[in-house]
Chain A
Amino acid sequence: MATLEIHDLHVTVEADNATKEILKGVDLTVKQGETHAIMGPNGSGKSTLAYSLAGHPKYTITSGTVTLDGEDVLEMSVDERARAGLFLAMQYPVEVPGVSVSNFLRTSATAIRGEAPKLRTWVKEVKEAMERLSIDPSFAERNVNEGFSGGEKKRHEILQLELLKPKIAILDETDSGLDVDALRVVSEGVNRVRESGEVGTLLITHYTRILRYIKPDHVHVFAGGRIAESGGAELADKLEAEGYEAYTKGGASE
């Protein structure tokens, strides 16, 4: 069973000619089949955790370990991490002019699966996945994320999640900026992947709203660059009622 283990992770970023520590010792274990929600106020370091795990060059790991099934993730390049089974659904998906969605998906699937998917079954697979996410077929010929609305970008991220079938999926504020209909469609996509039982999900969010659609097994409150409190789904209800104040005032942060 695939397991992502994060131990005492410290991460810095260069900003305004100064080095700032954002993550200050994160410990977290995500196993295949589990869903962990990471909730926290703005600036708590949630997205930094997501991008650090994916290997974004902006972030420097200063100490700690990240392993996937015992393999050192931090030693891997960005593409190696993806091929090892890590997937990051991004909060702000990037426009890639000149590259069509269909070409992108196929190139990506070929890289992840280690061989080019058979054309006939691939076309069907993509078409069905797009239908389930209410993505218009014309998107296949559009350039990656170019001119997509916020909701279209997020559905496109979940389309990739469904097609690439990672071991560990990190969803970075996938719910932000979505209206209720789009949130439902996107959540259904995530749930289909979860129901396979083969993915461990790290759901990063600012709001409890998405947790009505995607039920987490564990909820972690992120504050001041580390996990301040962990619990079950009931912790989300507490946050819904009381907000993050208890964690941002003094408490565990800074």
Chain B
Amino acid sequence: MAEAQNIPVGSTTAGQIAVAAESTVATRMSAPPSFDVADFPVPHGREEEWRFTPLDRLRGLHDGTAVANGTGVKVDVQAPEGVTVETVGRDDARIGRAGAPVDRVAAQAYSAFEKAGVITVPKETVLTEPIRIAVHGEGGTAFAHQVIELGAFAEAVVVIDHTGDAVLAANVDYLLGDGAKLTVVSVQDWDDKAVHVGQHNALVGRDASFKSVVVTFGGDVVRLHPRVSYAGTGGEAELYGLYFTDAGQHQEHRLLVDHNTPHCKSNVAYKGALQGDDAHAVWIGDVLIEAKAEGTDTYEMNRNLVLTDGARVDSVPNLEIETGEIVGAGHASATGRFDDEQLFYLMARGIPADEARRLVVRGFFAELVQQIGVDDIEERLLVKIDEELEASV
């Protein structure tokens, strides 16, 4: 089993986050982080962390009425040699070490799962093939927990694919040992009716690099909460996201980078396109630079491209800085429209309307897609983006 001795147990559980409890990032939550669902009141929708979410479409994940029924999801893991794939009980020490649930649904998932998946890449093991986790919805309700741990100086790419139809509340923990490099691509390519809520916690070790790519195309409601904190100096986190929100879909990405350790870096870039009536995308980007996190370098960015009338974006960057001794900190958020004038301009140069739209959307996403660094995923995304466009034109 891989050692991750650099990671002090509990480094990001309640005690640590209590440091930030005076901050607005933390106080905007209606309850402190907890593994117990009973510690969170049932949300009514006016809480800061729930105010954008259509609670009535969460199929009971938020109020205790959703019950696992055994036909929720089927999980298939393909891992290269040298990787350990286990199913463990709730008492396994690795579970929950990367961070505690911060809202009721994450705590519900934590309180309700029966077995957790643990994937371990031993120290100094450098994988040349990705680990692939296929999560296929079978139409039911499920609660799940997955841990992915990289030992010191291990390197891996993990692709998590969500397809089919399910009501799923699932948390994922990423534990990166010293100098480890982990790229995770989480694709939410659900059928139209699926509901998926989850919290992703990454604990980035000393000099380790974490790259997360969150790609959301499908589902009725998808609400993900990627969070990063650092267990040692020199850690780097890149959080990329891409979403394509269609008519009636609610896709919400709420990020937190907690710079709780000096001399760490983070870069957040999420881009979304929206089309159709009642397409709703929400992006919350919280970055907290704690008083002790001198030498922090962080930037976060969210851009949205609204392709049709009737779509709505809520984009809220929030940067909180408790020390001035930093390298850099910035954020940007912009929502643009693909409007009739742009369409006219491109068409006036001979470009047909559907190709003009494709040009703009592919161009909008291209830069971000190139950041992924996993060829077959990049290809697939470009194809998927074209498919989404075909469906609309």
A residues contacting B by CB (< 8 A) are 54-57, 77-79, 81-83, 87-88, 90, 93-100, 103-104, 107-108, 111-112, 143-144, 160, 164
Contact = CB atoms under 8 A, between A and B. Distances in A.
A79 B359 contact: no
16 contacts: A56-B344, A77-B353, A79-B347, A82-B351, A83-B350, A90-B348, A95-B342, A97-B336, A97-B364, A99-B360, A104-B346, A107-B355, A107-B359, A111-B351, A111-B355, A160-B349
A112 B349 contact: yes
Interface residues of B, number: 24
Contacts of A93: 345
A54 B356 CA distance: 16
Interface of B: 305, 336, 340-342, 344-353, 355-356, 359-361, 363-366
| Candidate in B341, B346, B360, B365 with the most chain A CB atoms within 10 angstroms | B346
Contact of B349 (A56, A57, A95, A108): A108
Given A57-B340, A107-B355, A96 B360 contact: yes
Contacts of B340: 57
Contacts of B363: 97-100, 103, 143
Contact of A104 (B305, B341, B359): B359
Nearest to B341: A94
Given A99-B363, A103-B359, A164 B349 contact: yes
A interface, over-half SS: mixed
B360 A57 contact: no
A93 to B, nearest CB: 7
A173 B347 CA distance: 20
Given A79-B353, A99-B359, A107-B359, A90 B364 contact: no
B355 to A, nearest CB: 7
Nearest to A112: B350
Contacts of A82: 347-351
Contact of A79 (B305, B336, B351): B351
A79 B345 contact: no
B349 A96 contact: no
Given A79-B350, A94-B341, A97-B305, 18 more contacts: A54-B344, A77-B353, A81-B348, A82-B347, A83-B350, A90-B348, A94-B342, A96-B342, A96-B346, A97-B336, A98-B305, A98-B365, A99-B363, A100-B363, A108-B346, A108-B351, A143-B363, A164-B350
